[in-house]
Chain A
Amino acid sequence: MTPAIQIDQVHKSFGAFEALRGIDLTIAQGEFFALLGPNGAGKSTLINLLAGLLRPTSGKLSVMGHDVVNDYQSARRLLGVVPQELVFDPFFNVREMLRFQAGYFGLGKENDAWVDEVIESLGLTDKAYTNMRRLSGGMKRRALIAQALAHKPPVVVLDEPTAGVDVELRQMLWEFIKRLNREGHTIILTTHYLEEAETLCSRVAMLKQGKVVALDSTHNLLNRIPGKNLRLRLAATSLPASLTPLLRSQDEGHYTFALPEVAQIEFVLSELRNADIKVEDMELIEVDLEDVFMEIVRQ
């Protein structure tokens, strides 16, 4: 089957600065895929290249087999992109905007039922006839997502769709996106909330300084760091030197240790006892994507 997204050896420079340094990535149809990475890693640049907002310095990108440069009309018809910035057209209301957007893709009245479905699914029904200017930030974000979906694209890319969005909207948004994915749409998202990527996405690529530093199923990535995290509340201001290599993070009396093997709990506790440090609370936590992320970014 033709991949939803195929990216081969893509480089992108802004002047002398190389934002993307040889990206290779294939995303199959129907995947729920996450693009992770610290700020400035190049996630938005990669998305903008797919969308044709930027042109690659070298390399090729295609959407459902259509090259985004040479065959841009087919490629764009198959792609819906939610930009990271909260942009809107101040002249029109939500429904007008969505109908225009579908119209640019060659769709007419026959698409109105879908437009109304998108409006309803994103909780915009009450605001359908409200001018974009008058929408709150959260509502603008919904409208922005709706706009990307107006032409019912099989491949949907969301660039930090939940940045600055309240919990209720995030829940509703993910329900809707999950439904789209079940119905066969390929979903690609970037997010800062790693737990979102962890629960939603089957596969993850991690970007760092313009390169893919990890690409695997979420499951495999989580197994990449063996063991568990031990989170302790300690009545101490300093730790015994023997424990610092295991320390992953600390904040206000809470210390998190990364234990490659669970049996190391005994070692940690005995060292604490020898140092006369009292354990006030204790918790054993599964490794999450954040840990993997920190680990990979640190390397």
Chain B
Amino acid sequence: MTGMWTLFKKEILRFWKVSFQTVAAPVITALLYLLIFSHVLASHVQVYEGVTYTAFLIPGLMMMSLLQNAFANSSSSLIQSKVMGNIVFLLLTPLSYRQFFLAFLLAAIIRGLVVGASVWLVALFFVDLPVAQPLLILTFAVLGGGLLGTLGIIAGIWAEKFDQMAAFQNFIIMPLSFLSGVFYSIHSLPPFWQKVSHLNPFFYMIDGFRHGFFGQGDIAPEISLTVVGVSFLALSWITLRLLKSGYKLRG
């Protein structure tokens, strides 16, 4: 337990020591999106009855920042320590692959939650946001952070160089997070793209999360919860398999 706790603490400190980059910067990015999109679209779009577009946008931006930062935490820690070579300090220890997984996963979730909550706090200055079902919000936040944290571990194990990691980020994480309904309701899309969106797990994370605020969404939160929960378990299972086999970590 001490071993896992130590690794978790180290992973938290690692991002906290540079919180200007790891927390403040993503919050500012989210805020820029908020200013630009709400300014451009506020008068044209109303997604739900009684919800302004700016209010609609905020949970999506929170979740998007949360997901991207949960991913960034585990993936950048792993790729950096692989490239620098200091990953051996972990590999030399008696930490089991499960402890290794849990420590990276929890730290990623915490980073995601810290960034997501910061976006919320700052956004509160601009707009009133209802909170319909707080437990749903928390559940989706934790599951979403977990899902992307796991994906970050997979990417960190797989990538051998920074540009491979960048490719993973640019070709998988970014498209999935932008095409997930952060900026729009998928009902406003043509039927084909609605179908495509239903294949994107990010869509369920964002829709379920938003449901927690407004009490309404594109689909039933039970469905979203199932999709996100099952995806999280499946990815965790894959990650644990990879870690157990020593894939790319122990030759």
Contacts and interface: CB of A to CB of B under 8 A. Distances in A.
A112 to B, nearest CB: 13
Given A83-B88, A89-B89, A100 B251 contact: no
Interface string B5-34: 111011001100110000000000000000
Central interface residue in B7, B9, B92, by most chain A CB within 10 Å? B92
Contacts of B251: 14, 48, 53-55
A72 B91 CA distance: 11
A106 B95 CA distance: 9
Contacts of A54: 250-251
17 contacts: A48-B251, A51-B91, A52-B92, A53-B251, A55-B251, A74-B94, A76-B93, A85-B85, A87-B86, A89-B81, A92-B13, A100-B6, A103-B6, A103-B10, A105-B3, A105-B94, A148-B92
A256 interface: no
B122 interface: no
Contact of A104 (B6, B14, B81, B246): B6
B199 to A, nearest CB: 38
A103 B3 contact: yes
A90 interface: yes
Nearest to B17: A91
A146 B90 CA distance: 15
B14 A55 contact: no
Given A100-B10, A108-B2, A89 B86 contact: yes
Given A55-B246, A104-B7, A76 B92 contact: yes
Interface residues of B, number: 28
Interface string A17-52: 000000000000000000000000000000010011
- What 9 pairs between A and B have smallest CB-CB spacing? A103-B6, A87-B85, A104-B93, A73-B94, A76-B94, A89-B86, A106-B2, A87-B86, A54-B251
Interface string B208-222: 000000000000000
A54 B249 CA distance: 9
Given A74-B94, A103-B7, A147-B89, 19 more contacts: A53-B91, A54-B251, A76-B94, A81-B92, A83-B88, A87-B88, A87-B89, A88-B86, A92-B10, A100-B6, A103-B3, A103-B6, A103-B10, A104-B3, A104-B7, A104-B90, A104-B93, A104-B94, A107-B2
Interface of A: 14, 48, 51-55, 72-74, 76-77, 79, 81, 83, 85, 87-92, 100-101, 103-108, 147-148
Contacts of B92: 51-53, 76, 79, 81, 148
A81 B85 CA distance: 14
Central interface residue in A51, A54, A85, A104, by most chain B CB within 10 Å? A104
A134 B92 CA distance: 24
B96 interface: yes
A90 B10 CA distance: 12
A103 B89 contact: no
A77 B6 contact: no
B251 to A, nearest CB: 5
Contacts of A148: 92
A76 B219 CA distance: 50
B68 to A, nearest CB: 21
A75 to B, nearest CB: 8
A135 to B, nearest CB: 13
Central interface residue in B7, B17, B86, by most chain A CB within 10 Å? B86
A104 B81 CA distance: 16
Contacts of B3: 103-106
B196 interface: no
Given A103-B2, A106-B3, A89 B94 contact: no
Contacts of B9: 100, 103
Contacts of B40: none
B130 to A, nearest CB: 40
Nearest to B96: A73
Nearest to A73: B94
A30 to B, nearest CB: 22
Interface in B75-100: 81, 84-86, 88-96
B94 A106 contact: yes
Contacts of B85: 83, 85, 87
Contacts of A76: 92-94
A137 to B, nearest CB: 15
